[in-house]
């Protein structure tokens, strides 16, 4: 496995677990409901980028379209309007900048502004996406597995051995990109926790994470505040007397546990909302691992 992740401007050292801080430039994120975004001004998002870096984020991941279960696709012009001002500012902050998008037009626009990484939930399956990444000399890319698409992915989750299916999908996606001349060192994989999988299936991907790592690519783990954690940690009853999932705002501790388990089992990047707490937890893990 490569000891670094090659991106547009940075060789990211993967000997140290990297904390990717999530920046939602969207009013309908499942995790913060647009707390840091206003349709009238992006100043709060820009300030949030700086805040995450002060908290210890190694990478910023900027997204303008919600991909929560049931989310509808966002028009191209609206995503560009949300994302470009944030990227234009973020590339001046001295850390790698990732953009969470599946639209090739957005990919090209942010790469032209100096973004370092394309983080694509569709694993470059949209027409023109592979070409946008393969045509760039050095940008990093994260290929994620998703079953179906955000609007319908949880209506009919995957069947069968999900670990093998996810592994095979990611292997083909990475090989296809390499076949177009993209260097191995530019590619990171993400199993897509919560994207068309049940709680048990998500857990199996963590339990058998090594099977995906055996492909030889670094792994990004995205467990932060996911609904599976809310279900696993349900501790209150709803009006019908059933266990109600832990609210999103109360999922920090289970998110930290999942992030540490993922790193312990070989993930090199963790994509998180709670940057300061994750950085602190990883400091303890690192000290105990020496």
**pLDDT given at position 157:** 86
Mean pLDDT of 159-187: 97
Q: pLDDT grade, residue 28 (50/70/90)?
A: very low
Catalytic residue among 197, 208, 225, 271: 271
Cα–Cα distances in angstroms (integers) from residue 147 to residues 121, 158, 249, in the given order: 10, 7, 26
* 252-267 tens-digit pLDDT: 999 999 999 999 999 9
Question: Token pair 């279960």 is at which residue?
Answer: 69
Is position 197 annotated as part of the catalytic site?
A: no
Is position 226 annotated as part of the catalytic site?
A: yes
Domains and CATH numbers, the chain: 4-289 (3.20.20.20)
Q: pLDDT grade, residue 40 (50/70/90)?
A: very low
Mean pLDDT of 187-204: 96
pLDDT at 34 over 60: no
Sign of CA dihedral 57, 61, 65, 71: negative
End-to-end CA distance of the chain: 20
Catalytic residue among 226, 251, 268, 283: 226
Rounded to two decimals, what is the model's pTM?
0.93
**pLDDT given at position 32:** 52
Q: pLDDT grade, residue 66 (50/70/90)?
A: confident
**pLDDT given at position 30:** 42
Between residues 283 and 33, the one the model is more confident about:
283
What 3-state class would DSSP assign to 279? Answer: helix
Helix (H) or strand (E) holding 26: none
Q: Supply the mean pLDDT for the chain.
A: 92
Distance CA 20, CA 147 (A): 23
User: Among 260, 229, 263, 262, which Cα is nearest to 247's?
Assistant: 229
Q: Which of 7-11, 25-29, 141-145 has the lowest mean pLDDT?
A: 25-29
Q: Which of 55-69, 218-232, 258-272 has the lowest mean pLDDT?
A: 55-69
Distance CA 182, CA 216 (A): 15
**Hey, what are 22's tokens?**
């999530």
């Amino acid at each position: 496995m490569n000891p670094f992740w090659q991106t547009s401007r940075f060789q990211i050292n993967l000997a140290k677990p990297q904390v990717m801080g999530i920046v939602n430039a969207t009013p309908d994120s499942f995790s913060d409901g647009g707390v840091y975004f206003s349709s009238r001004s992006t100043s709060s998002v820009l300030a949030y980028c700086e805040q995450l870096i002060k908290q210890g984020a190694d990478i910023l991941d900027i997204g303008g379209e919600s991909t929560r279960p049931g989310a509808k696709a966002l028009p191209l012009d609206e995503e560009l309007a949300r994302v470009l001002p944030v990227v234009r500012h973020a590339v001046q902050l001295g850390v790698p900048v990732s953009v969470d998008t599946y639209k090739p037009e957005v990919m090209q626009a942010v790469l032209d502004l100096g973004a370092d990484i394309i983080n694509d939930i569709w694993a470059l399956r949209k027409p023109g996406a592979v070409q946008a990444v393969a045509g760039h000399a050095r940008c990093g890319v994260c290929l994620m597995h998703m079953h179906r698409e955000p609007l319908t992915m949880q209506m009919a989750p995957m069947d069968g051995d999900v670990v093998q299916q996810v592994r095979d999908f990611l292997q083909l996606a990475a090989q296809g990109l390499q076949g177009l001349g993209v260097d191995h060192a530019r590619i990171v994989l993400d199993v897509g926790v919560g994207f068309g999988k049940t709680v048990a299936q998500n857990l199996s991907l963590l339990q058998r994470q090594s099977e995906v790592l055996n492909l030889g690519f670094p792994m990004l783990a995205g467990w932060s505040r996911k609904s599976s954690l809310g279900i696993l940690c349900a501790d209150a009853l709803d009006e019908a007397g059933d266990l109600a999932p832990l609210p999103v705002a109360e999922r920090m501790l289970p998110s930290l546990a999942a992030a540490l388990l993922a790193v312990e089992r070989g993930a090199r990047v963790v994509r998180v909302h709670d940057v300061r707490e994750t950085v602190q937890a990883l400091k303890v893990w690192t000290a105990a691992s020496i």
